[in-house]
Structure 1
Amino acid sequence: MSEREVNISVRNLVEFILREGSIDSKFMSSKRAQEGTKAHQKLQKINSKEFEKYSSEVYIKQRVQYENLSIVVEGRIDGIIEEGGKKIIEEIKSTNKELSLIEEDYNLLHWAQAKCYAFMYAEEQGLSEISVMLRYFSLTTEEVKEFIKDYKKEELAEFFFGVLDKYYIWAENTLKWESIRDHSIEKTPFPFPYYRSGQRELAVASYGTIKEGKKLFVQAPTGIGKTISTIFPAVKAMGEGKVSRIFYLTAKTITRSVAEEAFQKLKEKGLDLKVLTLTAKDKICFCKGESCAPESCPYADGHFNRVNDAIFQIITKEQYFTREIIEKYAEMHRVCPFEFSLDIALWSDCIICDYNYAFDPRVYLKRFFLEASSSERYAFLVDEAHNLVDRAREMFSSELVKSDFLKMKKLMKGKAPNLYKAANSINSYFIDLRHLCEDDNTTFIVQKKPPEDIYMPIRIFMKEAEEYLTKNANTEGYEELLDLFFKCNGFINITDLYDDHYVTYVDTEDRDVKLKIFCLDPSKNLKEAMKRARGEVVFSATLTPLNYFQEILGGNEEDYRLKLPSPFPKDNIDIMVAPISTRYKDRQDTYDIITDYIYSFVTMKKGNYLVFFPSYAYMKEITQRFNERFNDINSIVQQGEMSEEERENFLKEFKEEPSETLVGFCVLGGIFSEGIDLTGDRLIGAVVIGVGLPQICLERNIMKDYFNEEKGRGYEYAYMYPGMNKVLQGVGRIIRTEKDKGAALLIDDRFLTPAYERLMPPEWQPYKLIKNREELRDNLREFWNKDHEEGFHNDVKEHYVY
């Protein structure tokens, strides 16, 4: 992008400038999630045979020079038809709606988009007149309804420039801001006086990766400062024009807070940057429990009439768009805070958000990744990337259950005959699936092919549901139908991805019938999703083994890898292994001995401790015994479902300079085993019980069989690697800074096997083998009594920044 040039896509331009009215409903906002690409391809294939001359997906660009800047508008025309010497611009829209309900002015934005394309093409080709054809493609029947209008170039020009003139003030503001931003980036130094050991190496590798448009996989232990070491070089690359926007992608709210703090540090050093944190809709909504419709939500009512004023005010007055700031302006302008935040994203330099917004095919930000101008260049910073494996499987999978359709059948009986019939058809299909399992004397069936025989019944159900939802807002069963419509829509969308990385399975074990399209290996889909960015840095403290994560997260041999050692002295942590079997069959025999081990561990030094269990049931048994026998020790226990406030209150119990010992009992792999920072003496020790294996279940066993066949390492991929990752995360809570010191006790005999020893980080070696409680106490006594004050930082390499 040149210094005085702003780029925008036709679709984003039209929808931003011309939108008006209310947010009609959650249902109406789903249109973009439907199968547009597939429908376009079908219709374009038909058109290529039907018309004399037909071109599809024609790229077009128009540069308009104003006094002090250029606005470049670009996009892809769905189709250009040449018939009898006449040029026709084709705009294709797909829908589940009954075509008889769609009239010529069904959606004026559709015409607006087509008219802009028509002017741009007429201008490019020197045409004085041109036609526009708007074609609606039924996803259910594959029928087409079309409308055609003829235009003179002059009236199209008046429309096009009228839209562009309204956009000028936004373009001018963008260029002014980019000048301020880039100047500040050039002057902003690294926000700390020195680089920790490994930190400079990570920052340099991240910068080089983004600059080259490559992909980097990083295993960097706790304490290196991964967040600032990836954000700082990405910001510098932005200042040099290598990227236009940064996406900081996370799995957990607490990790987003760490990213916000890193940007705040840079702000304190003089950085001017617009940073947005996206908050989930259910958390930021002002009218929780209400539908997004003007009759039930005052913020939805007339939202689009007010939202652009709200956007302009917030982007000209603020730089950090946190949840609190967004809510403040949304309340002030009476707009929906969630939709408002999505619009602010277009004016933000960095977006801190969940993985879903970049990768999930159902909810990813199409305004950036599908409809953005070609000048956009993104950097993805993927934090805590070990979480992305299972999250990606979830994103690229979809399921339906019989009970939903049975309930809908009952709700629609006597009210909507066609919808009742469609729900009944799918319910009958599920009954047949149950009979198949019963005939084979099993509770599940796994197939390596898509369930294509259910696709058409689902499409018919969606067509009938769309018609009902359009006409019957706020009636009984509306919300249930809306939810089921989205499930069906998501299911159909995922079918396009089905390949040999998938299986289909039917599960009847829980008195219901579940049909799932299950993505076993998300690597291919993630690789495609990663292409939305120019450069990616994928990092975590626990990408172990690194080659496994690089492969499963969509990497290849050409990608960069970086494995960094811990920046802290080995003497800061004491790793012990007690070889007691915690396998499920042995657990009942271990309750008392493990209770004793925990007591011995936490009584050798006053302080705060965490104990991680492989399950809630195991935790309950031992916690009960511990509290009955050792009621002199304070303890708190993680609950199954905890609100954000309850989580914060739990962590607040871990105070600095505690006057007495506190033990927190938690579940390994849960909310307190990763992403929390209890620095200093807020946490001085952790006990990890078991090797963290995921619970044995149908899906894990399907994965095991698949990876046995594909890689010869089914157990490792399905159970061992995910389990050990939880262990590494749990122990990683202890040492967060160079001043932290702590002990870890690993209880399980499997830790002594070569397979698990190979997964242990170098700083855990050599660990101490603990055969009884006396050895445990002796080892801890020696560790805690050791004088670390003299030369405590001798092994910490510090690279000062001048």
Structure 2
Amino acid sequence: MASDIQISVRTLVEHVFKSGSIDARFRSQTALLDGTRIHQKVQKTYQDGDQKEVYVSTEIDYDGLTFTIDGRCDGLLMRDGKFIIDEIKSFSQPLDQLEPEGYPVHWAQAKMYAYIVALDRELEEVDVQLTYVHVETEEKKSIIQMYTFTELASFVMEVIASYAPFAKLLNDHRLKRNESCRELTFPFKAYRYGQRKLAGAVYKTIVDKKNLFAKAPTGIGKTISTLFPALKAIGERELSRIFYLTAKTITRTSAEEAFERMGDCGLCAKTVTITAKDKVCFQEETNCQKDFCEFANGYYDRINQAIFDILSNENHLTREVIESYARKHTVCPFEYSLDLAYSVDAIICDYNYIFDPRVSLKRLLEEQKKSTALLVDEAHNLVDRGREMFSASINKEPFLQLKKEYKGVNQSIYEAASKMNAWFIRLKKSHETQKEFVLEELEEDFLEEIRQFAMTAEQALQLDPSPSLLDTYFKVNQFIKIAELLDDHFIIYAEKERKDVKIKLFCLDPSELLQQMGKGYRAKIYFSATLSPLPYYQDILGGSAQDYALNIPSPFSEEQVEVFIKPLSTRYRDRERTKNAIVSVIQSLIKKRPGNYLIFFPSYQYLLDVYEHFKLTDHTTQTLIQETGMTESKREAFLAAFKPDQSETLVGFAVLGGIFSEGIDLIGDRLNGVVVIGVGLPQLCFERNLIKDHFSSLGKNGYDYAYVFPGINKVLQAGGRLIRSEQDHGTIVLIDDRFLQRQYQHLLPSEWRQFTII
């Protein structure tokens, strides 16, 4: 039985014919829009009876495979009784730089369409035309050639023959993958408490094409409990691809380890981990141009072989594996990982590849989304990350600098920057007494000026890629993009800082845009140990009443953790007064119960104040302190100091919501206790108050949405570092009088509610 390979004309010809180098020099952001505009403009000149955007499709059998090839032909024209296939291409370089005969990849695309049209209409010959149009001048150049059906049929078979080895590799793998997923058994001797329930809910969510919000406690093995059922769904042909989305490197590692473990149990699945470009770049300075980088130079000439090689030999395409094959084939490791993402079964990457409108994997077609599931790990992080992705700001300062830099050098940039600078000055003067103030709307003349600046910068950057102009251009462009999304989920505000002024388009509620960016996927699974309270997260992450929700209680007994509450005020105004008492609590704890402790503070300054006082009164206890901007090696050294069975006490001072308060595993005796100082409330600030007012105006508890829920999340994450398995025991001390208030009691996990007041 022949296996079916579905592929678009464009994907097929680009695989076979694309060549050349990665060139990340400045490219107009309007290129895509220009392409669409130019296509429409050319199509408007077609005559009566001509057709545009003609869908074509055919099936071809080759070497035991059936290829279903389809696409949309730009134009099907009729001239003097003859059919002409028209393929329109926008071109940004001057047309005299165009290859006289056009480009092989463009001819290949047009000839594929011509073959399908000739086959369907039983034509003996057909004319094929490439229409190149310059994006700015709209100057046009057409190249036309006649082909017989025999020539086209022969060409198409050559293209299929070139692609077939790769298609066969993918097809053979998919058959093996589906079989291995069907036969895969859970990779541990037994399910932990709650794992079977979570796995069952994930599978049902995928089958029912729904979304799931799951609160599942730390330590039950959420990674395996979500990946395993998703792979079983692949085996049952319910899915073809999985995205495992994370906010932190450490959770990416957990996903990689889960795939390796299942691989040892017979799973045959290919996974790729996408690492940020600046982390994997082989060069000292990231400059993706052929003249600067051998890995960018000729990238497309070598990439097919590099992909074929790695997919023939490896299943787990981790950062290290990708880097070694990238060096072997001299290809850019970042672009390599993105190109591999379209051929593998699971992609482990940051949230932004799906949810950020500026970054997402654009080539994932709607059809493929329908068979793709998103597993969103540590989903509580997506709230602030979502706000960040959908917000944008610009400052006065860069325009002032550009005004100075381009005076007498480039009049048009000088004038455009001057206008922007003057606008900010007027804004500043109109609100002299306020540091921060809300703007009702963006004035149309301001938007016009900022668009004008972007267009002027675009033209200048073609000739002069000045870093300061490029940086400002990107910020302006991002601002314009977000300005197009503005609705009542946003607020516009300005902030003065010394001589500078900033305007921010601030996304108060990311729910609708997260929902929009996740549209079309078969299922979305949001899970975290601290997705609590669940209704809040369902609301703010774009859930709906039709979604499934699951709350798995902790598998760990109350006997495993002893909880103490010390009712002291940690409010800003009382910190100096209660500092001594906090140090006394810590010292009393480590004296009675020696071991390894993490003490979490709501701010770095507070941490330093208490730490200095602790050191004055205790010269012997070994201490560690979280530094700002720690490198990966320093982080690893910090965690490595927490050894099991130490004879001396070790106290680590860290920040709530920071790098050590979530996603780290200090199992057994590596951690004996956690002290959380404060209820984790974000600092009172203008932005948080805007969030509070927004949700209050909708009849919700704005203070909870802006302060209480994000704060308690940090507390739960920090406390969750302690009990990671059935064997773990330890002590949690919560220092703040608010922990005794009913509002906070209600938000604490049930196993923390049997506490002793100190």
TM over 0.5: yes
Alpha-carbon offset, residue 241 of structure 1: 1.4
Amino acid at match of 1:343: D
| 1:797 aligned partner | none
Amino acid at match of 1:269: C
Asked whether 1:171 is paired with 2:159, we answer: no
CA–CA separation in structure 1 for the residues paired with 2:451 and 2:480: 8
SS at match of 2:592: coil
Of residues 420, 431, 454, the one that matches 1:462 is 454
SS at match of 1:176: helix
Amino acid at match of 2:720: G
Amino acid at match of 1:424: S
SS at match of 1:420: helix
Assess, with a 3 A threshold, how the Cα gap between structure 1 residues 374 and 667 changes in structure 2: closer, same or farther.
Answer: closer
| Within-5 A mapping of 1:4-83 | 4-28=3-27, 34=30, 36=32, 40=36, 44=40, 52=48, 59-76=55-72
| 1:272 aligned partner | 268
Asked whether 1:294 is paired with 2:290, we answer: yes
CA contact (8 A) 2:669 2:728 kept: yes
TM-score (structure 1 length as normaliser)? 0.87
Asked whether 1:343 is paired with 2:335, we answer: no
Alpha-carbon offset, residue 586 of structure 1: 1.5
Assess, with a 3 A threshold, how the Cα gap between structure 1 residues 45 and 94 changes in structure 2: closer, same or farther.
Answer: closer
Of residues 121, 126, 131, the one that matches 1:129 is 126
Per-residue CA deviation, residues 66-125 of structure 1 (Å, 9 max, x unaligned), is: 131022233445677789988776767779x69889868797756655554455455545
Alpha-carbon offset, residue 275 of structure 1: 1.1
CA–CA separation in structure 2 for the residues paired with 1:430 and 1:490: 18
Alpha-carbon offset, residue 628 of structure 1: 1.3
Of residues 637, 640, 644, the one that matches 1:649 is 637
Per-residue CA deviation, residues 704-762 of structure 1 (Å, 9 max, x unaligned), is: 11111124321111111111111110100001111111111111112222221221122
CA–CA separation in structure 1 for the residues paired with 2:283 and 2:176: 37
Assess, with a 3 A threshold, how the Cα gap between structure 1 residues 54 and 220 changes in structure 2: closer, same or farther.
Answer: farther
| 2:426 aligned partner | 432
Per-residue CA deviation, residues 523-548 of structure 1 (Å, 9 max, x unaligned), is: 11111222242111110000111011
User: In terms of mean alpha carbon deviation, does 396-405 or 118-127 score higher?
Assistant: 118-127
Alpha-carbon offset, residue 416 of structure 1: 3.2
| 1:591 aligned partner | 579
SS at match of 1:513: strand
User: In terms of mean alpha carbon deviation, does 324-333 or 399-408 score higher?
Assistant: 399-408
CA contact (8 A) 2:558 2:754 kept: no
Amino acid at match of 2:324: K
User: In terms of mean alpha carbon deviation, does 718-727 or 150-159 score higher?
Assistant: 150-159
Of residues 215, 218, 223, the one that matches 1:222 is 218
CA–CA separation in structure 1 for the residues paired with 2:752 and 2:37: 55
CA contact (8 A) 2:369 2:520 kept: no
Per-residue CA deviation, residues 38-71 of structure 1 (Å, 9 max, x unaligned), is: 9748975996799757877655433322131022
Per-residue CA deviation, residues 441-500 of structure 1 (Å, 9 max, x unaligned), is: 322332354554344444443344344433346xxxx33333333323323333332222
Amino acid at match of 2:503: L
CA–CA separation in structure 2 for the residues paired with 1:720 and 1:598: 25
Amino acid at match of 2:581: I
| 2:192 aligned partner | 196
Of residues 685, 694, 719, the one that matches 1:731 is 719
CA–CA separation in structure 2 for the residues paired with 1:281 and 1:114: 34
| 1:767 aligned partner | 755
Assess, with a 3 A threshold, how the Cα gap between structure 1 residues 499 and 58 changes in structure 2: closer, same or farther.
Answer: farther
CA contact (8 A) 1:6 1:72 kept: yes
| Cα-Cα RMSD | 3.0
Assess, with a 3 A threshold, how the Cα gap between structure 1 residues 572 and 404 changes in structure 2: closer, same or farther.
Answer: same
Amino acid at match of 2:317: F
| Within-5 A mapping of 1:194-343 | 194-343=190-339
Q: Structure 2 regions of 5+ residues with no counterpart?
A: none
SS at match of 1:366: coil
Per-residue CA deviation, residues 530-572 of structure 1 (Å, 9 max, x unaligned), is: 2242111110000111011011111100010000000111211
| 1:780 aligned partner | none
Instruction: Report how many aligned residue pairs link the two structures.
Output: 754
Assess, with a 3 A threshold, how the Cα gap between structure 1 residues 77 and 557 changes in structure 2: closer, same or farther.
Answer: farther
| Within-5 A mapping of 1:98-117 | 113=109, 116-117=112-113
CA contact (8 A) 1:451 1:504 kept: no
Alpha-carbon offset, residue 615 of structure 1: 0.4
Per-residue CA deviation, residues 195-244 of structure 1 (Å, 9 max, x unaligned), is: 11111010011011112221111000112211000000111111121111
User: In terms of mean alpha carbon deviation, does 646-655 or 16-25 score higher?
Assistant: 16-25
Amino acid at match of 1:212: D
CA–CA separation in structure 2 for the residues paired with 1:393 and 1:698: 15
| 2:407 aligned partner | 413
Alpha-carbon offset, residue 374 of structure 1: 5.0
CA–CA separation in structure 2 for the residues paired with 1:165 and 1:526: 42
CA–CA separation in structure 1 for the residues paired with 2:405 and 2:479: 22
| 1:401 aligned partner | 395
SS at match of 2:497: coil
Assess, with a 3 A threshold, how the Cα gap between structure 1 residues 505 and 47 changes in structure 2: closer, same or farther.
Answer: farther
Per-residue CA deviation, residues 624-663 of structure 1 (Å, 9 max, x unaligned), is: 0001111111110001111111111110010011111101
CA contact (8 A) 2:562 2:755 kept: yes
SS at match of 1:745: strand
Assess, with a 3 A threshold, how the Cα gap between structure 1 residues 80 and 225 changes in structure 2: closer, same or farther.
Answer: farther
| 1:682 aligned partner | 670
| 1:471 aligned partner | 463
Alpha-carbon offset, residue 421 of structure 1: 3.0
CA–CA separation in structure 1 for the residues paired with 2:369 and 2:216: 32
Of residues 549, 554, 561, the one that matches 1:561 is 549
CA–CA separation in structure 2 for the residues paired with 1:290 and 1:748: 47
CA–CA separation in structure 1 for the residues paired with 2:592 and 2:387: 43
| Within-5 A mapping of 1:405-554 | 405-438=399-432, 441-450=433-442, 452-472=444-464, 478-509=466-497, 511-554=499-542
Assess, with a 3 A threshold, how the Cα gap between structure 1 residues 510 and 651 changes in structure 2: closer, same or farther.
Answer: farther
CA–CA separation in structure 2 for the residues paired with 1:316 and 1:526: 36
SS at match of 1:603: helix
CA contact (8 A) 2:115 2:153 kept: yes
CA–CA separation in structure 2 for the residues paired with 1:720 and 1:411: 47
Per-residue CA deviation, residues 159-212 of structure 1 (Å, 9 max, x unaligned), is: 555443322221111111112222222222111001111110100110111122
Q: Percent identical across equivalent pairs?
A: 47
Amino acid at match of 1:442: Q
Of residues 606, 613, 624, the one that matches 2:612 is 624
CA contact (8 A) 2:595 2:650 kept: yes
TM-score (structure 2 length as normaliser)? 0.92
User: In terms of mean alpha carbon deviation, does 334-343 or 724-733 score higher?
Assistant: 334-343
Assess, with a 3 A threshold, how the Cα gap between structure 1 residues 36 and 768 changes in structure 2: closer, same or farther.
Answer: farther
CA contact (8 A) 2:378 2:529 kept: yes
User: In terms of mean alpha carbon deviation, does 124-133 or 355-364 score higher?
Assistant: 124-133
Alpha-carbon offset, residue 266 of structure 1: 0.4
Alpha-carbon offset, residue 14 of structure 1: 3.4
Amino acid at match of 2:613: R
SS at match of 1:257: helix
| 2:377 aligned partner | 383
CA–CA separation in structure 2 for the residues paired with 1:86 and 1:130: 8
User: In terms of mean alpha carbon deviation, does 284-293 or 354-363 score higher?
Assistant: 284-293
Q: Structure 1 regions of 5+ residues with no counterpart?
A: 771-802
CA–CA separation in structure 2 for the residues paired with 1:765 and 1:664: 25
Alpha-carbon offset, residue 583 of structure 1: 1.2
Assess, with a 3 A threshold, how the Cα gap between structure 1 residues 134 and 42 changes in structure 2: closer, same or farther.
Answer: closer
| 2:659 aligned partner | 671
Assess, with a 3 A threshold, how the Cα gap between structure 1 residues 754 and 196 changes in structure 2: closer, same or farther.
Answer: same
